Amino acid sequence: MITADDVRLVVGNLEITHDSMFMIIGRLVIYIAIIIIMAVMVTAIIALYMFNTRHMFFPKFTLLLITAFEGGVKAFFNFLRLDVSTVDRLNIDLRNIVDYDNYISTGYSERGAFLPQCLRSVECPAPTTPEGGIICKGCGKCEIKNAKAFCEELGYKVFAVAPGGTFVTRMMKKYEPTAAIGVACVGDSKSFLEVCEAMQVYGQAVILLKDGCVNTVANWDIFYKLVAMKKE
């Protein structure tokens, strides 16, 4: 019968028994766990620093860190009773920074603009269609009328008021813009930029000042600035 002591590996001059192999693996697991915990803590501190000082350094690398350790960083924030949405907000800021130059270098005719349906007036008379989303009738009861006219005047490839998240992906596939701007709540802004990344579209997201299901408020100043922003 083979006992644990009989199971041994000989590597060079080193003799590794069954028990010592478990010890090595155990230590490795502990070291890896310590490295991950340290990386999460460092990323969380960087995230806090950046968010509070607005000093964004190495945006691509930091975005990579925040994306890789997102779950851990959010858990760390939770543990410290900090606002977890800070992590997503920073993620959005960094993605905006990373894509900004390519976005403003893209001609208006290759850009798309997407607004959420929650920005509409509660008395909105616009019909919802599966192909075009909510078709603004320009009644003037909300700012969407002006936003649409502004984008159309500049020659935007697509302007749409989205009834839902998957609608934006469908429109992106249909019109294939090179760059796109989206207005949404924190969660949907992040999803919008992730869709942009997956579809190789240079994205800019503008987070709602007040979110919810109805009567939301957009940061129109930033929206119009970004819509019109162009590299000469």
Query: Interface with ligand SF4 by CB under 6 A: which residues?
Result: 120-121, 124-126, 136-142, 144-145
Task: Output the smallest distance, CB 213 to ligand SF4, in A.
Answer: 15
Of residues 196, 19, 55, 113, the one with CA closest to residue 8: 19
Residue 65 vs 142, nearer CB to ligand SF4: 142
Q: Are 100 and 179 in contact (CB under 8 A)?
A: no
Task: Between 26 and 140, name the residue whose CB sits nearer to ligand SF4.
Answer: 140
| Closest separation in Å from C-beta 128 to ligand SF4 | 11
Q: Smallest distance, Å, CB 211 to ligand SF4? A: 18
CB 164 → ligand SF4: shortest distance, Å? 16
Q: At its nearest, how many Å lie between ligand SF4 and the CB of residue 66? A: 35
**E strands along the chain, which residues?**
8-11, 14-17, 111-116, 128-129, 133-134, 158-162, 179-184, 202-207
Give the angle subtended at the CA of 158 by the CAs of 154 and 210, to the nearest 5°. 90
Nearer residue to ligand SF4 within complex by CB, 56 or 139: 139
Instruction: Please state the closest distance from residue 224 (CB atom) to ligand SF4, in A.
Output: 16
Considering beta carbons, is residue 71 or 127 the nearer one to ligand SF4? 127
Identity of the residue, 171 or 196, whose beta carbon is nearer to ligand SF4 in the bound complex: 171
Query: What is the dihedral sign for C-alpha 214, 219, 197, 201?
Result: positive
In the sheet where 158-162 sits, what is the strand order? 128-129, 133-134, 158-162, 111-116, 179-184, 202-207
SS3 string, 111-139, reads EEEEEEHHHCCCCCCCCEECCCEECCCCC
Task: For ligand SF4, give the closer residue by CB, 142 or 158.
Answer: 142
